[in-house]
Structure 1
């Protein structure tokens, strides 16, 4: 578990709740880049929040918004792929022994790049349509489901390296991640 406050919302508009987590991600990424911080504690907190947030979105938010025709299925599916890519980059950060190495800084840079891209895209292609196409009661009901799952995941210490490994392996098995360097983003894995 982590001593860093990840928030413990119990209700709210799902759009606002997701945006609150996005701001937490940005703050945690800043702290990960800051060598005066306890980077090990920050990466554990980031891992916990990232997994809990992604799992809650995939379990409740994306499916409901697709059913309501508020978001395009391709945009929701793309969000799931980006969560998988984020988890894969997160795993690399978690598996590094030290937090004061160039390898750590490179891994954090890659993680930040993927997360910031996902946040921007999700706010444009998923949260804007959710605001415009879904009524306040549905957003509130969805917010309750989102925080319930998010908090349950946090209570289960979902950011443990073994759990992130399992999630990444599952995503790879489902074809959400490329096993080689032939993806269209030109990632250099090794």
Structure 2
């Protein structure tokens, strides 16, 4: 199911700016998701699509390039991927709920907000700041184009569908990215 909410369709730009623009979109969508007077179903569909497209584009293009440029460590990239998986898992719980006017929905939104806010803050501090310092403008522009192209392609493919999010969460579980025993042990 595609969304009527504008998620932006950048074609190019500095990858850091593009990622930060998406981070601000996440924050805006979370505010709308908490607002009981909004079309919460449309918002959760849009948020799921943006979350999947953004995370997958980062993991495919941004994190590997930043590792090769020594802007981030292998651990930082892996930790970012683990946090994406946690966000997908929390997003799936929001998507699976039938109603959007229940305490269960509000609780699931709160869990999603916690996971998402933690990741945005940490990524901006430990990945984007070093990328600003360690990666030149030309590489950031090349990365921006690759990120935007992948992100838009995934949005066009309805990447935020509940079936796709379910598949992503299952794959993350199989890869050990959602190991419940390690929860909180990295902090």
Is 1:174 the equivalent of 2:166?
no
Q: Distance in 1 between matches of 2:61 and 2:11?
A: 15
Question: What's the Cα RMSD here?
Answer: 0.9
Match of 1:105 in 2: 106
TM-score, normalisation: structure 1 = 0.95
Q: Distance in 1 between matches of 2:49 and 2:42?
A: 11
Q: Secondary structure at the match of 2:8?
A: coil
Task: Kindly state the Cα deviation for residue 183 of structure 1 after the two structures are TM-superposed.
Answer: 3.5
Is 1:185 the equivalent of 2:181?
no
Q: Where in structure 2 are the equivalents of 1:33-72 lying within 5 Å?
A: 33-72=34-73
5+ long unaligned stretches in structure 1: none
Match of 2:22 in 1: 21
Q: Deviations over 1:145-179 (max 9, x none)?
A: 0000000000000000000000000000001012x
Q: Which ranges of 4 or more aligned residues in structure 1 deviate by more than 6 Å?
A: none
Q: Deviations over 1:54-111 (max 9, x none)?
A: 0000000000000010111111110000000000000000000000000000000000
Task: Kindly state the Cα deviation for residue 184 of structure 1 after the two structures are TM-superposed.
Answer: 3.1
5+ long unaligned stretches in structure 2: none
Task: Kindly state the Cα deviation for residue 185 of structure 1 after the two structures are TM-superposed.
Answer: 3.1
Q: Where in structure 2 are the equivalents of 1:66-85 lying within 5 Å?
A: 66-85=67-86
Q: Secondary structure at the match of 2:177?
A: coil
The count of aligned residue pairs is 184
